[in-house]
Amino acid sequence: MLAFNWKMNPETLREAIDLASISDCKNAVVIPPFLFIEEVGKILKKAKLGAQDLFWENPSAGKGAFTGEVSAKELKNFCVEYVIVGHSDRRHKLGESDEVVAKKLKTALVAGLIPILCVGETREEKEFGKRKEVIKRQLNTALANLKPKIKNLKLIVAYEPVWAIGAGDPETPGNALEAIKYIKKLLAENFNLKVKVLYGGSVNSKILGDYLKYKEINGALVGGASLKKDEVEKMTQWI
Ligand code: PGA
């Protein structure tokens, strides 16, 4: 699976439509900004539609006085199937805490959206040998509220080392594999959960195959390269 996270791009609807039409492949999830979700959704025939975030308050009502926020129900009404939760841009640039991530995860699951839960360490944490500790804390907090009724839960995890995102400096496939195996082991042992885990962080068409050759790495979450048509064309040949 390839999840294309467009972040705050492109600038115009025309560009969004162009990009959506070349990204429209089976096993792709196209994740545009909220503004373009409706029109991109109309274009996609094979790919699934995703959102970059959601709000956690008032999940059953799906509406309310929350300026600037978008609810799970609103996303469902536009045929969104996947939603990114806890992306490092939000955790580290916008101060989103593990607890907020947990609320968003629960809201997404209750609404029937498939969350792509992002976890990963900063450069400093990596240098202090804290990768596993950070992953464990982020997963345990995110899933804590769900423990009693975790069966049959549809969840995707993306291992995205913060320092590798948008940096042109990906984690090596071997180290990514090790982290991903750890995530799978932890979720199986602590939550009786079997999940798909993606790698994310400076993935492009040249290196994608180096990750996908491991059966434990179930795909990639791609940012920058998902905005370039020639890159998208090459990357979608893998799925
Ligand atoms: P990148 O972004 O591919 O540009 O590193 C990945 C992501 O933020 O999900």
* Percent share of the chain, pLDDT over 90: 91
- Coarse DSSP helix, strand, coil percentages of the chain, rounded to the nearest 5 percent: 45, 15, 40
Q: Is 171 a catalytic residue?
A: no
Q: What is the pLDDT of residues 220-235, one digit of tens each?
A: 999 999 999 999 999 9
**Could you tell me the distance, in angstroms and rounded to a whole number, from the CA of residue 146 to the centre of ligand 1?**
28
pLDDT above 70 (res 114): yes
**Atom 6 of ligand 1, residue of closest alpha carbon:** 223
Kindly give the number of the ligand 1 atom that is closest to the alpha carbon of 224: 4
Q: What's the DSSP call for residue 92?
A: I
* pLDDT of 57: 81
* pLDDT of 147: 61
Kindly give the number of the ligand 1 atom that is closest to the alpha carbon of 3: 9
Kindly give the number of the ligand 1 atom that is closest to the alpha carbon of 170: 5
Looking at every residue in the chain, the average pLDDT score rounds to: 95
Mean pLDDT for 120-127 is: 97
pLDDT, greater one: 59 or 144: 144
Specify which residues 220 forms β-bridges with. 2, 199
* pLDDT of 10: 98
- Provide the angle, in degrees to the nearest 10, between the axes of the packed helices 131-143 and 98-111: 50
**Could you tell me the distance, in angstroms and rounded to a whole number, from the CA of residue 173 to the centre of ligand 1?**
15
Q: Measuring CA to CA, which residue among 74, 145, 62 is closest to residue 106? A: 145
Q: What's the DSSP call for residue 4?
A: E
Q: Is 160 a catalytic residue?
A: yes
Q: What's the DSSP call for residue 172?
A: P
pLDDT band at 61 (very low <50, low <70, confident <90, very high): confident
pLDDT above 70 (res 96): yes
- Asked if residue 226 has its Cβ within 6 Å of ligand 1, the reply is no
**Could you tell me the distance, in angstroms and rounded to a whole number, from the CA of residue 145 to the centre of ligand 1?**
28
Mean pLDDT for 133-160 is: 88
